[in-house]
Chain A
Amino acid sequence: MMGSENDDESHLHSSKEEMENLFLREDGDPLTINHVNGDKSNSNYRSAMSTLSDSRHPSIVVTPADSDPLFAPPSYYRESRSPRSKPNGGDRGSSYLEPPSYADVIFSPFDDISEINGSEDGGSRHSQSSDSLSRSPSSLSSDYIKITVSNPQKEQEATNSMIPGGSTYITYQITTRTNLSEYGGSDFSVRRRFRDIVTLADRLAESYRGFCIPPRPDKSVVESQVMQKQEFVEQRRVALEKYLRRLVAHPVIRNSDELKVFLQAQGKLPLATSTYVASRMLDGAVKLPKQLFGEGGGASSVEVVQPARGGRDFLRLFKELRQSVSNDWGGSKPPVVEEDKEFLEKKEKMYDLEQQIINASQQAESLVKAQQDMGETMGEMGLAFIKLTKFENEEAVFNSQRARANDMKNFATSAVKASRFYRELNSQTVKHLDTLHDYLGLMMAVQGAFADRSSALLTVQTLLSELSSLGARAEKLEAASSKVFGGDKSRIKKIEELKETIKVTEDSKNVAIREYEQIKENNWCEVERLDRERRADFLNMMKGFVVNQVGYAEKIANVWTKVAEETSQYGRESS
């Protein structure tokens, strides 16, 4: 799909500007500023592109890994932008009009917002995370893909049951509805277990270094008894659904082979458990490498593309560790320094942002609790007064008592009504402010992307220093052998071998550098995309939150105003 594009630079840039303009045109005030950002990203993009040699361009088209996302970020960028931008059209504008009375609007804006978000099939997290704001696919001409996780079932491990009964595990039914052409059908479902999710996540982490990959749900270290409890299973089901939905929301990852296989292949998941053992290491299942005791040759160019940390190459890991130590001590200045000030600034900004999001989401939680308490207490008070009213009515001796009891009843029912409104207000508030929670997960993904960059840089540095030490050895040998007249057979042989190793290492170094640059690009694109989406999502969240508050405040105020009017005589009597 992507490889067929003719990616020469000018074409790219004009199309990018085109995209930015599209974006500009349909969005109202809030997003005009994107123009500025768009320019900036444009120039960054250009500079990122220019760090690569020109020779790179042919390789994009030629590389067998045609669908390899690592080598074709520009095309995804264009591809996903256009379908998303179009349907935004007029809809966005209307949601930002001031409604005459929020109270009237209150029950329709949730439909409005869902339509708007529905049109952003890849974009807004907002629409993804709540079921009630589900999109109406039929009204859209663009792509959509919807995933549902349901129907957890207990299954048994058939093989290796030396223990009668064997171990049981839960599988979930994963149903996909889509009109994307890459997928075979439009409706299909498979059964997967949690272990498969872990495999998927690991494989994605391998293949998409530098990207902000949404974090997968945690493995929980719990007893098997708890594992099968309904609450736990339900929690996990929800988490899985959220995770998969986020994956397909990502414009690059949604097209990945791994994901496609995961969603479509029937029967057992045919993805090899990855060489990326990082997650397994956390489980404590570390295996000793044979390499540690063997002769470590030059790192092969294929393996170089993976981070040392996650791989089985413990020798390489050791070397890189040594390198990072020497980097730290500053004994020898590392040949390639993370000099990109912009990157470092960005990293810090991301960290700050993460802290603030954490803080805001905590405060949002306590706000929700306070609103809930208010509603509850209001309701309880209303009930207490209703009881009082009933009592007064029963025991009344004078008619005036009954009249007063009636008024009191109106008051009490108003309190109960208000309480109900508070509860509704709150459930909507939760949906809106949930965006903050979602972004916590995404900030983790950003961290992961930055970590990929750092580890790739470390690999490069390690190789560079290895190259220089190999070169030094070669020099020494040559100098020594030249002193021996007629040549030193054994030394010459050694020099030959060394030269071979140097060549291999040189190749690896080049691959590593390419990898590093690629990851840098990916980082940039992802961060830009994330920033943009986040800003839109946050604006949406705020609008939703505020409209909600106002609407319900109006409703509650009306309730009290009415009862105040009805009982105004008491006020008059007392003044």
Chain B
Amino acid sequence: MESTTEQPRNISGSMQSPRSPSSQPYLSVSVTDPVKLGNGVQAYISYRVITKTNLPDYQGPEKIVIRRYSDFVWLRDRLFEKYKGIFIPPLPEKSAVEKFRFSAEFIEMRRAALDIFVNRIALHPELQHSEDLRTFLQADEETMDRFRFQETGIFKKPADLMQMFRDVQSKVSDAVLGKEKPVEETTADYEKLKHYIFELENHLAEAQKHAYRLVKRHRELGQSLLDFGKAVKLLGACEGEPTGKAFSDLGTKSELLSIKLQKEAQQVLMNFEEPLKDYVRYVQSIKATIAERGTAFKQHCELAETTKLKEINLDKLMLTRSDKVGEAEIEYREVTALLEIL
């Protein structure tokens, strides 16, 4: 898989290049400054998204907008719709636990993940040209809100048929895994790839689970060292010298160690577990794309059949009555157009 995570933000070398900025195209994004807005149940976190670019489609060398998590979701969904077959970078999950939602740790983890998300898009050879990306990076907040509400509201026009098939998506896994026999596009290589992806997810998920536990263990060990240090110091207070001093020293060192362990826990979390989680999400995103592919294929087949039927119908009509022909022709054209899109 790609390692775009690790690549530098800029497509070119450095932003501070003394050459004229327009010599090399670059698009650099950062997600920063999480701020809690709103009250009570409706409270949410907003992030500052800073775009630095010299691409012509963008307004000016730098633009700063305020975005919230659901805006990122919107972007992801739009890309998923528009760029079929492309692996869309994953988003961090919505938090289920209310209390945790505003903890400093969670907010930071989310910010980092969102930053990676946007950058992966910005660096992707195809996705970076997306109009939705431009909207996301530049539109003012009101426009963004409008877009976002649209998405969650009614469906857009050309997708009526899509809607029908989207409902079927729950059966996607079965379809992809080949449980539904007839309408299945497959080659040996493709199957192998699918199997690999699915198994990979399991392994990664397990590894991540243990990584998470390891973080917890570090924290627990840190805590118990702290308690032990305190207890030992108290014990030392009861004893005369030299034992008393020895206990006191032991206790102090224990407490110092405990702090280090907490720091280590944090490092393991950010540098080990989070990336693992990220890859799990990525694999899940790939799976979603594979599923889409399967669905699309099915749609394609079904549409092909429908097209054939309509063609037959049209021909029939043309032979019999001409007033219905117009209608049928339109239908036929629509269906063919859909087929093209697919």
Contacts from A to B (Cβ < 8 Å): 29-31, 33, 37, 349, 352-353, 356-357, 359-360, 362-364, 366-367, 369-371, 373-374, 377-378, 380-381, 384-385, 387-388, 391, 395, 531, 534-535, 538-539, 542, 545-546, 573-574
- With A374-B221, A384-B210: A535-B239 Cβ-Cβ less than 8 Å: yes
Given contacts A385-B207, A535-B239, 19 further A-B contacts (CB under 8 A): A33-B242, A349-B238, A352-B238, A360-B228, A366-B224, A373-B220, A377-B210, A377-B213, A377-B214, A378-B214, A378-B217, A388-B204, A391-B200, A391-B203, A395-B196, A534-B239, A538-B246, A573-B6, A574-B5
13 sample A-B contacts, Cβ–Cβ < 8 Å, listed by A number = A33-B241, A353-B239, A356-B231, A363-B224, A363-B227, A364-B231, A369-B224, A381-B207, A384-B203, A384-B210, A534-B243, A538-B243, A542-B247
Q: Are A370 and B210 in contact (CB under 8 A)?
A: no
A33 near B207: Cβ-Cβ < 8 Å? no
- Contacts of B209-240 to chain A: CB distance below 8 A: 209-211, 213-214, 216-218, 220-221, 223-225, 227-228, 230-232, 234-235, 237-240
* B residues near A391, Cβ cutoff 8 Å: 199-200, 203
- Does B180 touch A at the CB level, under 8 Å? no
Complex Cα spacing A350 to B192, Å: 73
- What are the residues of chain A within 8 A of B64 when measuring CB–CB? none
Given the known interface contacts A360-B232, A362-B231, A388-B204, the answer about A546 and B250 at a Cβ–Cβ threshold of 8 Å is: yes
Render B239-269 as a binary contact track against A, CB cut-off 8 A, 1 for contact: 1111100110010000000000000000000
A360-B232, A370-B224 given; A31·B242 CB < 8 A: yes
- CA–CA, A30 and B242, complex, Å: 6
Contacts of B250 in A (CB 8 A): 542, 545-546
Which residues of the partner chain B approach A539 to less than 8 Å between Cβ atoms? 242-243, 246
Which among B195, B211, B237, B242 has the highest number of chain A CB atoms within 10 Å? B242
Inter-chain contact B225/A367, CB cutoff 8 Å: yes
* Interface residues of chain A: helix, strand, loop or mixed (majority): helix
B131 at the interface (CB under 8 A from A): no
Q: Which residues of B sit under 8 angstroms from A546, Cβ to Cβ? A: 250
Q: In the complex, which of the residues A33, A381, A395 has the most CB atoms of chain B within 10 Å of its own CB atom? A: A381
Q: B243–A371 contact, CB under 8 A?
A: no
**Set A356, A363, A370: member contacting B220, Cβ < 8 A:** A370
How many pairs of residues, A versus B, come closer than 8 Å at their CB atoms?
118
| In the complex, B206 has a CB within 8 A of chain A | yes
Would B231 and A359 count as touching, CB distance under 8 A?
Answer: yes
Q: Which residues of A contact B221 (CB under 8 A)?
A: 367, 370-371, 373-374
Q: Which residue of A lies closest to B236 (CB)?
A: A356
- Chain B residues, Cβ within 8 Å of A367: 221, 224-225, 227-228
With A33-B242, A367-B228, A574-B6 already in contact, the answer to whether A374 and B207 are too (CB < 8 A) is no
- Bound-state CA distance A485–B231 (Å) is 78
Q: Give bound CA distance, A370 to B199, whole Å.
A: 33
Q: Please report the C-alpha to C-alpha distance between residue A91 and residue B81 in the assembled complex, in whole angstroms.
A: 78
Q: Which residue of B lies closest to A376 (CB)?
A: B217
Q: Among B218, B241, B246, which residue has its beta carbon within 8 angstroms of that of A542?
A: B246
Please count how many residues in chain B sit with their CB below 8 Å of the partner chain's CB atoms. 42
- Kindly report which residue of chain B lies nearest to residue A29, judged by CB atoms: B242
Inside 8 A of A363's CB, which chain B residues have their CB?
224, 227-228, 230-232
Contacts of A374 in B (CB 8 A): 214, 217-218, 220-221
Partner of B235, one of A30, A360, A371, A574: A360
Q: Which residue of B lies closest to A535 (CB)?
A: B243
Alpha-carbon distance A445/B218, docked complex (angstroms): 39
Encode B14-25 as 1/0 by CB contact (under 8 A) with A: 000000000000
Q: Which of A352, A364, A395, A574 contacts B228 (CB 8 A)?
A: A364
Task: Give the contacting residue for A366; candidates B3, B5, B204, B227; CB below 8 A.
Answer: B227
* Cα distance A104–B336 in the bound complex, in angstroms: 78
Which of chain B's residues have a CB closer than 8 A to the CB of A371?
Answer: 221
Contact (Cβ within 8 A) B235 A356: yes
- CB contacts (< 8 Å) of B232 on chain A: these are 360, 363
* Smallest CB gap from A433: residue in B: B228
Nearest B residue (CB) for A396: B196
A531 cross-chain contacts in B, Cβ below 8 A = 240
Whether the pair B243, A353 counts as a contact (CB closer than 8 A) is no
B residues 152-189 near A (Cβ < 8 Å) are none
Q: Which partner residue on chain B sits nearest A391 by CB separation?
A: B203
A98→B291 CA distance, assembly (Å) = 64
Distance of A356 Cα from B3 Cα, bound (Å): 55
B231 touches A377 (CB 8 A): no
A28 to chain B, nearest CB (A): 11
Q: Name B82-134 residues within 8 Å CB distance of A.
A: none
Question: With A374-B217, A539-B243 given, is the CB distance from A356 to B238 under 8 Å?
Answer: yes
Does A538 contact B217, Cβ atoms closer than 8 Å?
no
List B contacts of A542 (CB < 8 A). Answer: 246-247, 250
| Complex Cα spacing A370 to B254, Å | 14
Contacts of A29 in B (CB 8 A): 242
What distance in Å separates the Cβ of B234 from its nearest Cβ neighbour in chain A?
5
A165 to B214, CA, bound (A): 56
Given contacts A353-B239, A360-B232, A538-B239, contact A377 B217 (CB under 8 A): yes
Closest CB in chain B relative to A297 CB, distance in Å: 47
- Complex Cα spacing A545 to B228, Å: 13
**A462 → chain B, closest Cβ, in Å?**
35
Shortest Cβ distance from B241 into A: residue: A33
- Of all chain A residues, the one with the shortest Cβ separation from B243 is A535
Contacts of B192 in A (CB 8 A): 395
Closest to B196 in A: A395
A391 to B211, CA, bound (A): 18
**Which single residue of chain A is at the shortest CB-CB distance from B250?**
A542
Give bound CA distance, A349 to B239, whole Å. 9
Residues of A within 8 A of B209 (CB): 384
How distant is the Cα of A75 from the Cα of B12 in the complex, in angstroms?
90
Cα of A289 to Cα of B235 in the assembled complex, Å? 46
- Please, which residues of chain B bring their CB within 8 A of the CB of A366? 224, 227-228
CB distance from A348 to the nearest CB of B (A): 11
Most buried by B among A377, A388, A546, A573: A377
Question: How far, in whole Å, are A538 and B236 apart by their CA atoms in the complex?
Answer: 10
Docked CA distance A318–B99 (Å)? 64
Residues of A within 8 A of B3 (CB): 573-574
